[in-house]
Amino acid sequence: MVQVTEQWREGSAPGVGPVTLFLVIGSVLVALYSDFGDPLTMTIQNLSIEPWDSHEFLRKVREGEVWRLVTPMLIHFGPLHLVFNMMWTWQLGRQVEHNHGSPALIGLVLLSEVPGGLGQYLVTGPSFGGMSGVVYGLFGFVWMQARYAPRRGYHLDDRAAVWMMLWFVACGTGLLGSVANIGHAGGLVAGLLAGVPVYVGHLRDRVDAPEFTAGSWASEHIRGARRVVRQFVTPYVPLWFLLLAAGVLLFER
């Protein structure tokens, strides 16, 4: 779907940290022990936010099994679901862990998984799982860093970002079947919000040194639709991403 091999070659993180490794190995083991998400296995029932036959709101969580707020991310329904999510968890998670550290990655994972998972549970019940919400949280954060603070060592190809958002929208339409869209949207919002500090710095730089000043190269040579996009659309892409996420959330309700 995207130039995955190119992404793997160009990722800036030279190695893999313990949190990224845990996410990948944990997901693979859960997939194997659960026959790729078979709800009849105890693995799925013990890791879902609630047992699938539960009719009490967060009963197990309220009884102390708080890990259930996080462990649905380890559940995957089929090999393709697992491979896609692990590919991006590896690619994006190791960048965050390398550049910001393991505690930051843990925080971002929790921020991406818990609110979105709770929202998904409220709308569809406990029968969901997957690392996709976390992946979109990592995507939002890494995209913000790579675009607005490139010196920090993050890399995310623009083509990959476009494909990720196209997939996000395609899932949101419902044409691809049953997808945990609220988890996707919650993760994306979490990742974008975590990247707000670098985005604010970018906007301040634009105010201090505007690109389209009188007599500047951009003002003289960039015209028409290209100028409108460059001046009024491109700088505010994170806001468009947030609007897409809000649209998905409203559609799912």
Contacts of 185 (CB under 8 A, 6+ apart): 116, 136, 172, 245, 246, 248, 249, 252
Sorted by sequence, the CB contacts under 8 Å of residue 70 that are 6+ apart come out as: 109, 110, 113, 114, 117
What is the separation of C-alpha 103 from the centre of its chain, rounded to a whole number of angstroms? 17
Q: How many residues does the chain have?
A: 253
What are the percentages of helix, strand and coil residues in the chain, rounded to 5?
70, 0, 30
Tokens of 9: 């070659």
184 is catalytic: yes
Question: What does the DSSP 8-state code read for residue 129?
Answer: -
From 132, 155, 202, 219, the catalytic residue: 132
Query: Could you say which of 98, 184, 219, 221 is catalytic?
Result: 184
Residues labelled catalytic: 132, 184
